[in-house]
Structure 1
């Protein structure tokens, strides 16, 4: 188990352009029914789940789409939670750059580990965030029916090893250093909504 002094910070990456999604709105702002049946935007489901996990401060990294209204709606309901919103102007450089921005912000918040999730995955549960946050491995990745997904916990020891460019975030590091990785079985779904076909599958699931 992590030490009693561990301070995890949750990072929700929500900066991408979503160019594969050909809908009338950005995929993150598209309303969908969540695991509990409530209808909210994709990113609001993701954000409310990480907040409900109560693992620590939350950093939201946005970029291509304005999330101000979503953040205002959510923070009005959870005024007691610490949420730091970062607008990443360099979001087009890929997910690795957004993760780097999130980690730098987490360092400023005193983090000893970060737990990273994606804004386009409305099926991640608060319990999944908590289980991954409490894992002991340097890198802990949630699994769903044996398949790796999100969130991913990254201890401070591995931050210098993270890529700084490209669109893979921590995934390439997990391939390069499997010895650092532990898997955490979770309930819920890591299904991500990238296309209109994905949206239809989510709505019909």
Structure 2
């Protein structure tokens, strides 16, 4: 069995939402607690959460869970810094990781089965990247082999990991994950989520 960690990105300011979307209520939890529970119910070990904006409000919501919490002091420079900080921290505390999954707080329909499916495909194929495909997009949640950790740590600005997916497109296995199409960026997105659930 491969050792695969999970990094949940929760550092953004959610400017389009106008308030911390990590704390929006969904199915009796807030989005951050929901994401953490899903991660812990998956076969990913360990689970690390990267906080930034609103860290002081969000941290108490997940303190009780057995997850590693990392505050990214330069979260304002963009998502790349949170990915980089997350990879560094998870690598330091777990030297035998084969791969890492990068997930988001604002994709509430993602279940532990999705994370487990990414890991299963990775074990079957040993592709360097196993990504989610939805709405003609290839994106996250996505699994990255340890050979890519150095490059993930070198990402800069507001680029997520898609730059690596483009660079190594021959190594990417994209699997249909329609649930990944739902991400909560605006009050309108949130309203649609509540109506649909």
Same fold (TM over 0.5): yes
Q: Please give the residue correspondences for 1:156-175 in structure 2 after superposition, counting only pairs within 5 Å.
A: 156-162=146-152, 163-175=154-166
> Aligned to 1:183, what secondary structure does the other structure show?
strand
Partner of 1:11: 7
Match of 2:128 in 1: 138
Q: How far is the alpha carbon of 1:112 from its aligned partner?
A: 2.1
Tell me: CA distance 1:145–1:202, structure 2 relative to 1, closer, same or farther (3 Å): same
2 CA distance for matches of 1:93 and 1:198?
Answer: 25
**8 Å CA contact retained: 2:6, 2:46:** yes
Deviation digits for residues 92-135 of structure 1 (CA, Å, limit 9, x no counterpart) = 11111100011111211122211110011111110001111231
Contact 2:135-2:181 within 8 A present in 1 as well: no
Counterparts of 1:119 and 1:185 in 2: how far apart (Å)? 20
Deviates more, 1:55-64 or 1:184-193: 184-193
Shift of 1:200: 1.2
In the superposition, the TM-score normalised over structure 1's length comes to 0.84
* TM-aligned CA deviation for residue 65 of structure 1: 1.5
TM-score, normalised via structure 2 length: 0.87
CA RMSD after TM alignment: 1.8
d(CA) in 1 for partners of 2:42 and 2:178? 14
1:71 equivalent among 53, 62, 78: 62
1:60 equivalent to 2:49? Answer: yes
More helix by share: 2
Is 2:80 the counterpart of 1:96? yes
SS of residue paired to 1:204: helix
